[in-house]
A and B are shown apart, each in its own frame.
Chain A
Amino acid sequence: MLFPTARRTALRGVGALPRSTSVFSSPFNNPSALRRLLSSLAVLEQREGKLNHGSLSAITAAKKLGGSIHGFVAGSNIKPVAEEAAKVEGVEKIIAVDNAAYDKGLPENYAPLLVENIKKNGYTHIIAGHTAFGKSLLPRVAALLDSQQISDITVIENENTFVRPIYAGNAIATVESSDPIKVITIRGTAFPAAEAQGGSAAVEEGVDPNVQISVEWVSEDLAKSDRPDLATAGKVVSGGRGLKSKEEFDKVMLPLADSLGAAVGASRAAVDSGYADNSLQVGQTGKVVAPQLYMAVGISGAIQHLAGMKDSKVIAAINKDAEAPIFQVADVGLVGDLFDKVPELTEKLKSS
């Protein structure tokens, strides 16, 4: 404790007075007062005028820190998005910047935009998801603030101390930051999205430096799917090299996914061999998932793959090699030819 004497005096003072009197509180001796100095900015994602509810994980993380929580959104016709975000429980204010220049979330102008708003409001913690958007944007923001970012955290111990996996999840590091502004990306599966209702935050217009940039957004090609989103799905079925071809992958895995209402994932081997799209890759360098059920089909279980799924509640594995490392982490394993077992499983799940 920095001020032991002051603390004792203040405690005596508080004890002698009605609880509601807070004149004796000082930031140094009252934890709740200390928390009041904390103010977090949750960077929320939007796409074509729709709030990305997955990005509300940043608000959950901010709640764990304590202190005031503001949300940030930017893009064209941002008002409806801001109003939706304002209903999120626990948010005090939504800072919104209405400008089409930010629609695509390009870090070249989005980073200076955030920095201006951070400086204006004096936030102590900047939080975004460790998504393609957050990963591309936040380190640039951190560099502009001269802050060493803390990436992909899974636990908040206190306002300075965070836990994050390193070495593909083979080690867990607890780190303490000495930066005045903490720039943090969070692992979505470790922080459930905040409730999108129950709040009534004010919406405030943010400052817009409108930085001109030399990068141009050209096009995008996003996989359309009716299945649940891989990163947030409750169930995931994932295929590996054992599927042998793209045709077999689609023929075997998609019906299984549909019979379970699951998202489809893939190992790096399956992605590299062209069986599945890169965006389906589960692992250290792909997506990290933690569903209720993860079913690994024809996946041996390399450490890079395990890094992306070992926090799943229940892991099931189907593999013809009884020695495959996946069986060491699987709650339930079935040794057999996936081309026989998976269709049988799909049929039985459908009929039950």
Chain B
Amino acid sequence: MSALRILVPVKRVIDYAVKPRVNKAQTGVETAGVKHSMNPFDELSVEESVRIREKKRAPGGVEDICVISAGPTKAADVLRTAMAMGADRGIHVDVKEGEDLEPLSVAKLLKATVDKEKSNLVILGKQSIDDDAAQTGQMLAGLLGWPQATQASQVTFGEGDTIEVTKEVDGGVETVKAKLPMIITTDLRLNEPRYASLPNIMKAKKKPLVKLSLSDLGVANERRLKVLKVTEPPPRQGGGKVEDVDGLISKLKELGAI
């Protein structure tokens, strides 16, 4: 049985509870002075990795949980959070503010990391809540030629390095089985991420955090998509309220909805 060497990519994004505002120049969303946190799906990935170790779910055990993030200096914050949740160490790939990587570049960067760190399981979030692309995990699986299980709601380990994953699909769930190495992307129902306790936050400060550049991993920030503009969606006008059920029915009839 192989011991697990888990790689968990995490992304620093605008906090999910913040309503993003488009900037005046219409080049993007206002990020300065806005609360950021770890992408919610990445919290699920970290939590799952830590639980696999704590509950001794993998027959071969867990040798290493490494978190990685590519982004500006502040991306280190989400790595510390992940380490406070239980990850062993972090890799921060320094990318200048405003020079965000496209998913394909992230996938290439992760492939290089997987090779370097000898990871055999990569757990990613199913999508990041900023660009909503939902691509990176699948792209990485394609580049590595590994099996992939996307939108996982349950992960079970079996004999002979097998992993059975239940995935959320349209209309229900589907279960697939594959052998390590493997890529898993997480869905909401997988688990409930823990809060990092204060002692663990303190301990996380002492855990190793390596800083790398894109060139250290042999990856260029090659942009294939040019953002021409970013605009606010057309606002919806609330149509006011009605007094009772009869009012609701007649208004819906008037609007041609029933």
Residues of A within 8 A of B (CB): 104, 106-108, 111, 131-133, 135-144, 146-152, 161, 164-179, 213-223, 229, 231, 235, 260, 268, 271-272, 277-279, 284-285, 287, 292-293, 303-304, 310, 313-316, 318, 322, 327-336, 341, 344-345, 348-349, 352
Contact = CB atoms under 8 A, between A and B. Distances in A.
Contacts of A137: 138
A171 B230 contact: yes
Interface string B76-118: 0000000000000000000000000011100100000000000
A333 B238 contact: yes
B179 A314 contact: no
Contacts of A139: 103, 134-139, 142
Nearest to B244: A334
A150 B41 CA distance: 20
A272 B245 CA distance: 29
Contacts of A287: 170
A268 B240 CA distance: 25
A285 B226 contact: no
A327 B255 contact: no
Given A132-B151, A176-B225, A217 B242 contact: no
Contacts of A219: 174-175
A161 to B, nearest CB: 7
B188 A272 contact: yes
A348 B253 CA distance: 13
Contacts of A344: 245
A220 B172 contact: yes
Given A170-B233, A304-B16, A214 B179 contact: yes
B150 interface: yes
Given A219-B175, A304-B16, A167 B244 contact: no
A141 B141 CA distance: 10
A345 to B, nearest CB: 5
A303 to B, nearest CB: 6
Interface in B190-239: 224-233, 236, 238-239
B25 interface: no
A176 B226 CA distance: 5
Nearest to B233: A172
Given A215-B148, A349-B249, 18 more contacts: A108-B147, A133-B170, A136-B150, A137-B138, A147-B224, A152-B134, A167-B20, A172-B233, A177-B224, A214-B147, A219-B175, A260-B258, A292-B256, A293-B252, A333-B242, A334-B244, A344-B245, A345-B249
A334 B241 contact: yes
Interface in B138-173: 138-143, 147-151, 153, 164, 167-173
A264 B225 CA distance: 37
A167 B129 contact: yes
A329 B143 contact: no
A176 B228 contact: yes
Given A171-B22, A179-B224, A215-B177, A327 B238 contact: yes
A278 B168 contact: yes
In the complex, the 5 A-B pairs of residues with the closest C-beta atoms, listed nearest first: A143-B142, A139-B138, A222-B172, A148-B224, A331-B239
A138 B148 CA distance: 13
Interface residues on B, range: 35 or more
Interface of B: 14, 16, 19-20, 22, 29, 41, 102-104, 107, 126-127, 129-143, 147-151, 153, 164, 167-179, 187-189, 224-233, 236, 238-242, 244-249, 251-252, 255-258
Nearest to A268: B188
A258 to B, nearest CB: 14
B235 to A, nearest CB: 9
A151 B225 contact: no
A231 B171 CA distance: 10
B19 A341 contact: no
Given A217-B176, A310-B236, A334-B242, A146 B252 contact: no
Given A170-B19, A177-B225, A285 B127 contact: yes
B139 A214 contact: no
B147 A213 contact: yes
Interface hub of B134, B143, B178, B244 (most chain A Cβ within 10 A): B134
Contacts of A334: 241-242, 244-245, 247-248
